Amino acid sequence: MIPRTFPEAFSLRDQTALITGGGTGIGLAIAHAMHAAGAQVVLVGRREAELAQAAQGLGTGATALEHDVTATGGAPALIARAEAAVGPITCLVNNAGIHLKKPAVETSVEEFERVLRTHVLGAHALTAAVAPGMMARKAGHILFTASMASLFGLPQVVAYAAAKSAYLGMVRTYATEFSPQGVRVNAIAPGWIDTALSRQAMAGDPRRRERIIARTPMAAFGDPLDIGWAAVYLASPAARFVTGVILPVDGGVSIGF
């Protein structure tokens, strides 16, 4: 049934979202927005104290579970733990990730593998663990946090770009397999977002910040909640006919120069 009123179309009431990397940055912003839209949220990450603080800040309806996504064999147990605590997971947000900035020829195979295990294999393990339940219920949404590195070449991030580019194929393949059973799969590709990590990267390098602003048509950095509200839309009934898409939220960076 398609909602006919504005609030209901974008409401996440009666939904439960599990968000990896949910304790800080973009993951926490997605959790905040989804929680504000009415969803229960389960924040997943490796740092227990950080997760607990984030969940406490969100208040009632927020739960924290410690888990390392690279421990792929533990994905089914994580989903079971989460569902025992809060009920069926209706939305999975594959957001956890690590960054590696190095020239390609200096990037070791071990470093490359570590990035792929976190982004690609970790996300696949959780997707494979949660999707059967969603398909049995004929409803669910799986969301990936992609990147500008999924869309065009960036120097010195070959492992990260490979991982984020893999998301494009994963999203499209999962969407073709899962959507007939009522499970939509999409991705958001953030542009340059004003997070603690990006501020740290820009510290002492005002020219880099100026270059980024100059190549962004909206001439600004995004806010983490710009990603959060886009995630709410994609998970909401308003996007019931949207699957297999990569949504840039980037101030226009990806449209070219």
Q: Where are the domains of the chain?
A: 6-248
| Residue 185 and residue 135 in contact, taking contact as beta carbons nearer than 8 Å | no
How far does the chain reach from its first CA to its final CA, in angstroms? 42
Task: Out of 160, 167, 174, 233, pick the active-site residue.
Answer: 160
pLDDT at 257: 63
Spacing of C-alpha 175 from chain mean position: 16
| Residue 67 and residue 119 in contact, taking contact as beta carbons nearer than 8 Å | no
The tens-digit pLDDT sequence of the chain (257 residues) is 788 999 999 999 999 999 999 999 999 999 999 999 999 999 999 999 999 999 999 999 999 999 999 999 999 999 999 999 999 999 999 999 999 999 999 999 999 999 999 999 999 999 999 999 999 999 999 999 999 999 999 899 999 999 999 999 999 999 999 999 999 999 999 999 998 878 877 777 788 889 889 999 999 999 999 999 999 999 999 999 999 999 999 999 999 76
pLDDT at 196: 82
| Residue 5 and residue 29 in contact, taking contact as beta carbons nearer than 8 Å | no
Q: In this structure, what token pair is assigned to residue 235?
A: 């998970």
Q: Which residue has the tokens 């219920």?
A: 137
Q: Pick from 77, 68, 64: which is nearest to 122 by CA?
A: 68
pTM for the predicted model, two decimal places: 0.96
Question: Would you give the DSSP letter of residue 221?
Answer: P
CATH homologous superfamily of 6-248: NAD(P)-binding Rossmann-like Domain (3.40.50.720)
| Residue 78 and residue 52 in contact, taking contact as beta carbons nearer than 8 Å | no
* Catalytic (active site) residue 233: no
Q: Give the CA radius of gyration of the chain.
A: 18
Q: In this structure, what token pair is assigned to residue 111?
A: 């470093």
